[in-house]
């Protein structure tokens, strides 16, 4: 790893550093309070108590009952657990996270189209439902272009269909799942106000540890375990519980909620500065996602520089000490055009030049100022290079004649 | 802008430095990552995404474009399927030789030149020098004296280049380049072929801030990486259990999963516990028998006279019969040999001294001083 005089991290939608307060809360559970919560002696019972306290705090933070919260090793597992509650056809938006896409590929599913700003309209959800649909899954906020979905209105559509089935005497279940991973800490996430029946959350994006997440499921939804073992998590997830992780998760979520309003104001102001400056310098740049502030994640800027290759920009920025993403990490590493950008109808020549910049708790005003200068310089240099180079285009023939 | 070069960039240090040197020398450089076929087996992590990312970082650092040219289907057909087919018949080919001939100095070169390149370049340890202008239609009597630099190749146009071993004799890769036509070599640059050793290559890369300067060399067959040829072949071919028989006594001493898994001279993976070290002397893939010996002096473990088929001569015709040097394996020393060509694309070699036997299908490469003249493929004894 190279060291730079400048080290500006602007990819908080990919990973966040564990907050020092969170780490401090977790540490005792690695050393003196390491016990197995299933152990019969006092130390074990204390570990069990710590785990259940953490579960209680997590539940309270999202307006839920502790018994409905299953702790998992991260959001991907929680999503897998959620989809296991039914066997029938599912409907998901065209811009869901890789983990959802991978799950539905293997089963009968409908893809719900999105608006050019990434919005999933209730009408589009309605259009995708059939009498056989058993699960609808829409992320509360999209992690690539930052669209915040009208989940409440979508849940009305789901509820109306459920009502219709009840009245018609049909027994096919229908649930609404939302992956709130990218929304947590930035939006108010309360299970009852989302209107969802299943909610996924992760500690990794809210300054907590990785591989720690949860699935909340409404009463009466029968989940099926993915990991069989010693009956932990009400038999829904075998394996000795990650007490330190649960404690860290609870602490991280409480901190994020406590600081949310102030922090979002700060982040959106910084993000707006960044957007304004870059768009002024590069008037052809395209900003994706909703325009309305309330429909947009406050820390995220998705900006495309037509005619440039984002992968080159990321490398060039890395060399200058600025870390940014090109979108979902999974899509980027597989080097194909982002599914999300295809779904919103962004032209390939624009999509290929897209950067996803996400600010976070450690991001300072000075960093944003420096980053804007560096991004501007790198983009300008790349435009100059592209303009100066000759055309190696296909089929121009051998110039020897 | 200078002359145009398309350089193959693998993500490794050799091709990275090659590209950097071309940029420094004022060429107009386009980097290309050639995507080849890779095995998709459980437990095998394909390194190509990482290698491409490395190549991209180097290209951005040099300020050159990098394109990905996809040869997955062609590579599978020309190199992988051929390899499996050979093994199935008890023949052990050199996949790198085929890859260089068909892909790198075949399809890649063609596309680069049709895109207007003056040259192609790679990070191979080898050198080229110009040959002579070829006059189309002039006749050359086969078997005439080969005078370096004055040969004329009938029926082709353009110039034939000549192939020389690298300055670094230890890293020299001409053993894998003997099937590249001289007409392609005349349009080929090997920018690192003059560098005395790998240490210097790394040092020069470091001086230039090339991030892959310390990246470890790739080993093994590129498309199967670490899984090994045995596991790969078993994934492609049905196992055909059979006997391992002692060549001297005719005694059955063990069982194997398929004669195609064994190659002459091999001593590991025989699965015969205890006893002396045994070597494979011969495989009979039809009967499914692997013959072994514990006698290091067994004549089948040595060779003195070699029959080559599918010979290829870089200059376009066979060298004058005479005494040359040959190499029977990339890592082996050169050995003197009388070389005489036979009917069609065959040759007959008599070595100055015996060499450990190599498997049928392996390349035998002929040199005159530093110059690689071409070679052939060892015929089954």
Among the partner-chain residues A334, A389, A398, the one whose CB lies closest to the CB of B65 is A389
Predicted local confidence at residue B226, as pLDDT: 62
Find out whether B354 and B259 touch, Cβ atoms under 8 Å: no
Among the partner-chain residues A335, A385, A398, the one whose CB lies closest to the CB of B116 is A398
The domains found in chain B, sorted by start residue, are 4-125+166-214 (3.40.50.620), 238-293 (2.30.30.280), 301-378 (2.40.30.10)
Burial class for A349, CB neighbours closer than 10 Å (0-12, 13-18, 19+): exposed
Chain A residues with beta carbon closer than 8 angstroms to that of B211 = 2
Does the structural domain A20-255 have CATH classification 3.30.565.10? no
A-contacting residues of B 57-96, CB under 8 Å?
A: 57, 59-61, 63, 65, 67
CB pairs under 8 A between A and B: 41
Residue span(s) of chain A under CATH 3.40.640.10 come to 20-255
Chain A residues with beta carbon closer than 8 angstroms to that of B1 = 390
Residues forming a β-bridge with B188: B120
Helix, strand, coil content of chain B in percent (nearest 5): 25, 30, 45
| Residue closest to A29 by CA, chosen among A252, A254, A242, A255 | A242
- B30 CA: distance to closest CA in chain A (Å): 8
Predicted local confidence at residue A336, as pLDDT: 63
Chain A residues with beta carbon closer than 8 angstroms to that of B115 = 392, 394-396
Residue span(s) of chain A under CATH 3.90.1150.10 come to 8-16+260-384
Both tokens of B155, joined, read 């029926």
When pLDDT is averaged across residues A6-20 and rounded to a whole number, the result is 97
Nearest residue in A to B62, CA atom: A316
Find out whether B303 and B354 touch, Cβ atoms under 8 Å: yes
Torsion of CA B348, B350, B351, B356, to 10 degrees: 70
| Residue closest to A330 by CA, chosen among A83, A99, A118, A141 | A99
- A395 CA: distance to closest CA in chain B (Å): 6
Among the partner-chain residues B1, B49, B63, the one whose CB lies closest to the CB of A335 is B49
Long-range contacts of A161-169 (CB under 8 A, 24+ apart): A161/A129, A161/A133, A165/A131
User: ipTM of this predicted complex?
Assistant: 0.79
Per-residue tens of pLDDT for chain B, all 381 residues: 689 999 999 999 999 999 999 999 999 999 999 998 877 666 555 567 788 999 999 999 999 999 999 999 999 999 999 999 999 999 999 999 999 999 999 999 999 999 999 999 999 999 999 875 444 444 333 433 333 343 433 333 467 899 999 999 999 999 999 999 999 999 999 999 999 999 999 999 999 999 888 888 876 677 776 667 888 898 889 989 999 999 999 999 999 999 999 989 888 777 777 778 899 999 999 999 999 999 999 999 999 999 999 999 999 999 999 999 999 999 999 999 999 999 999 999 999 999 999 999 999 999 999 999 999 999 976
Among the partner-chain residues B57, B60, B116, the one whose CB lies closest to the CB of A399 is B116
Mean residue pLDDT across chain A: 93
Predicted local confidence at residue B225, as pLDDT: 66
Predicted local confidence at residue B150, as pLDDT: 38
Active site residue A264: no
- A311 CA: distance to closest CA in chain B (Å): 8
Given the residues B222, B298, B372, B381, select the one marked as catalytic: B222
Chain A residues with beta carbon closer than 8 angstroms to that of B214 = none
Check pLDDT > 80 for residue A392. no
Rounded to whole angstroms, the Cα distance separating B376 from B364 reads 5
Rounded to whole angstroms, the Cα distance separating A76 from A90 reads 17
The alpha carbon dihedral of A245, A246, A247, A248 has a sign of positive
Among A307-321, A323-337, B296-310, B359-373, the range scoring the smallest mean pLDDT is: A323-337
3-state secondary structure A109-178: EEEECCCCCCCCCHHHHHHHCCCCCCEEECCCECCCCCEECCHHHHHHHHHHHHHHHHHHCCCCCCEEEE
Burial class for A52, CB neighbours closer than 10 Å (0-12, 13-18, 19+): middle
* Fold topology of A8-16+260-384: 3.90.1150
Nearest residue in B to A381, CA atom: B63
Q: Residue length, chain A?
A: 401
When pLDDT is averaged across residues A215-229 and rounded to a whole number, the result is 95
A-contacting residues of B 34-53, CB under 8 Å?
A: 49, 52
Find out whether B92 and B357 touch, Cβ atoms under 8 Å: no
| Nearby residues of A97 by Cβ (< 8 Å), 6 or more positions away | A75, A79, A139, A143, A179, A181, A328
- DSSP-derived letter for residue B322 is E
Chain B residues with beta carbon closer than 8 angstroms to that of A397 = 114, 116
Q: Do B113 and A398 touch (CB under 8 A)?
A: yes
- A224 CA: distance to closest CA in chain B (Å): 27
Q: Does A4 touch chain B (CB under 8 A)?
A: no
What does the angle CA B25 – CA B27 – CA B30 come to, to the nearest 5 degrees? 130
Nearest residue in A to B211, CA atom: A2
Find out whether B146 and B152 touch, Cβ atoms under 8 Å: no
Check pLDDT > 50 for residue A263. yes
> How many C-beta atoms lie closer than 10 Å to residue B238's C-beta?
8
When pLDDT is averaged across residues A107-125 and rounded to a whole number, the result is 97
Rounded to whole angstroms, the Cα distance separating A198 from A214 reads 10
pLDDT in tens, A198-210: 999 999 999 999 9
| Nearby residues of A375 by Cβ (< 8 Å), 6 or more positions away | A278, A317, A322, A324, A355, A357
Both tokens of B313, joined, read 């001569």
Q: Do A312 and B113 touch (CB under 8 A)?
A: no
């Amino acid at each position: 790893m190279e060291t730079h005089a400048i080290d500006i991290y602007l990819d908080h939608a990919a990973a966040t550093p564990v907050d020092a307060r969170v780490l401090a809360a977790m540490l005792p559970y690695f050393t003196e309070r390491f016990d197995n919560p299933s152990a019969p002696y006092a130390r074990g019972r204390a570990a069990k108590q710590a785990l259940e306290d953490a579960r209680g705090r997590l539940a309270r933070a999202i307006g839920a009952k502790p018994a409905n919260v299953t702790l998992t090793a991260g959001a991907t597992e929680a999503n897998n657990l959620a989809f296991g509650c039914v066997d029938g056809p599912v409907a998901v938006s065209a811009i869901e996270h890789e983990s959802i896409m991978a799950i539905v590929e293997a089963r009968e599913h409908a893809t719900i189209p999105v608006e050019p700003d990434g919005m999933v309209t209730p009408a589009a959800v309605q259009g995708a439902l059939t009498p056989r649909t058993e699960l609808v899954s829409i992320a509360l906020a999209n992690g690539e272009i930052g669209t915040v979905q009208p989940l409440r209105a979508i849940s009305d559509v789901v509820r109306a269909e459920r009502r219709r089935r009840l009245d018609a005497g049909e027994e096919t279940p229908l649930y609404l799942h939302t992956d709130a991973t990218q929304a947590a800490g930035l939006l108010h996430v309360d299970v009852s106000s989302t209107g969802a029946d299943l909610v996924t959350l992760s500690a990794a994006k809210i300054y907590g540890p990785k591989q720690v997440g949860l699935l909340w499921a409404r009463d009466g939804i029968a989940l099926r375990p993915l990991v069989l073992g010693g009956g932990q998590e009400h038999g829904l997830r075998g394996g000795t519980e990650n007490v330190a992780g649960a404690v860290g998760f609870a602490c991280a979520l409480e901190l994020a909620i406590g600081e949310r309003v102030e922090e979002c104001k700060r982040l959106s102001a910084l993000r707006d500065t960044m957007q304004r400056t870059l768009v002024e310098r590069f008037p052809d740049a395209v900003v994706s996602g909703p325009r309305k502030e309330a429909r947009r994640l406050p820390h995220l800027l998705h900006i495309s520089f037509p005619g440039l290759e984002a992968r080159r920009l990321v490398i060039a920025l890395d060399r200058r000490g600025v870390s940014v993403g090109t979108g979902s990490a999974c899509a980027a590493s597989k080097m194909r055009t982002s599914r999300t950008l295809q779904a919103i109808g962004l032209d390939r020549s624009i999509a290929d030049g897209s950067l996803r910049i996400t600010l976070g708790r450690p991001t300072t005003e000075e960093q944003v100022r420096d980053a804007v200068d560096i991004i501007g310089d790198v983009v300008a240099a790349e435009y100059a290079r592209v303009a100066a180079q000759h055309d190696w285009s296909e089929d121009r023939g051998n110039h020897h004649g | 802008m200078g002359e145009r070069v398309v350089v193959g960039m693998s993500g490794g240090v050799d091709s990275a430095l090659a590209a950097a040197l071309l940029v420094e020398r004022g060429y107009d450089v386009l980097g290309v990552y050639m995507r080849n076929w890779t095995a998709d087996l459980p437990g095998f992590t394909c390194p190509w995404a990482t290698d491409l990312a490395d190549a991209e970082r180097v290209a951005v650092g040099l300020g050159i474009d990098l394109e990905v040219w996809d040869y997955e289907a062609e590579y599978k057909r020309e190199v992988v399927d051929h390899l499996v087919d050979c093994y199935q018949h008890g023949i052990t080919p050199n996949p790198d030789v085929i890859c260089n001939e068909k892909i790198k100095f075949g399809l890649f070169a063609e596309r680069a030149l049709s895109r207007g390149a003056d040259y192609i370049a790679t990070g191979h340890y080898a050198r080229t020098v110009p040959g002579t202008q070829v006059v189309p239609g002039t006749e050359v009597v086969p078997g005439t004296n080969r005078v370096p630099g004055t040969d004329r190749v009938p029926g082709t146009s353009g110039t034939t280049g000549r192939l020389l071993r690298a300055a670094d004799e230890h890293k020299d890769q001409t053993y894998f380049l003997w099937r590249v036509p001289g007409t392609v070599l005349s349009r080929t640059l090997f920018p690192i072929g003059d560098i005395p050793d790998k240490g210097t290559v790394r040092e020069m890369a470091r001086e230039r801030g090339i991030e892959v300067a310390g990246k470890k060399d790739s080993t093994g067959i590129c498309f199967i990486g670490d899984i090994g040829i045995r596991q790969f072949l078993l994934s492609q071919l049905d196992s055909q259990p059979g006997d391992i028989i002692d060549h001297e006594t005719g005694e059955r001493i063990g069982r194997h999963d398929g004669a195609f898994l064994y190659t002459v001279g091999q001593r590991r993976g025989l699965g015969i516990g205890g006893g002396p070290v045994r070597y494979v002397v011969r495989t009979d893939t039809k009967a499914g028998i692997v013959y072994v010996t514990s006698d290091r002096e067994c004549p089948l473990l040595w060779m003195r006279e070699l029959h080559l088929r599918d010979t290829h001569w870089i200059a376009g015709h066979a060298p004058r019969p005479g005494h040359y040097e040959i190499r029977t394996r990339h890592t082996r020393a050169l050995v003197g040999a009388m070389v005489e060509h036979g009917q069609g694309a065959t040759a007959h070699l008599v070595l100055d001294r015996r060499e450990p036997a190599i498997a049928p299908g392996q390349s035998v490469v002929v040199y005159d001083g530093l110059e690689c003249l071409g070679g052939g493929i060892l015929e089954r004894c």
